[in-house]
Amino acid sequence: MAADRFLIDTSVWIEYLNDPRYQHGEALKHLMETGRAFIAGLVLAELIQGARAKQDLEAIEIIAAATVVLDSPLKVWKETGSLSRRLRQKGLTLPLQDCLLAVLAVENGLKLLSHDRHFQLIEKSYPLELARL
C-alpha cells in the first residue's frame, strides 16, 4: 500500500472532519502529507455545501490545499453517463456522482476510499478498486 494513491470520497472526509478521533485520521493525514490523497471537485463542493461553521470551511480549505484536485474532462463525463446507463440496464440506479467518482478513480489509476456501499455494487461490474485503510 506504500505507493498507492487514493481518491477519497465525501463520506470519509465527513467522518474525518466531524470526529477528531476518527480511526483513520492519521492515515488520511499521512496520505495528504505524501501527496497520495486525491479529491474530486464534486466532493470538494459537497463538503463546502455541508459546512456548518467558519472552522469547517477552514478545515476544508486545508484539505483542498493538501490534496490533488482532479479535473473532469469530457471523456470522464461520457464514461460516467455510460457507466450509469449500463448499471441501470442491470437494474441498479445509483447516484450519478458515485458513477463519476468511480470513473475518476479508474481513469486516474486511483483506489477509491469510501464508506458508501454503492461503490461495492459498482465494483462488481466496473474495474474499480476499493481501498480499505
Boundaries of every domain in the chain: 6-123
* CA–CA distance, 127 with 129 (Å, rounded to integer): 6
8 Cβ neighbours under 8 A, 6+ residues apart: 28, 31, 37, 38, 39, 43, 67, 113, 114
Residue 1, pLDDT > 60, answer no
Of 3, 10, 35, residue with least CA distance to 119: 10
Q: What is the pTM of this model?
A: 0.94
Fold of the domain built from segment(s) 6-123? Rossmann fold (3.40.50)
> 66-76: per-residue pLDDT in tens?
999 999 999 99
Q: Is a pLDDT exceeding 90 seen at residue 37?
A: yes
Q: Which of 21, 10, 17 is nearest to 56 (CA)?
A: 17
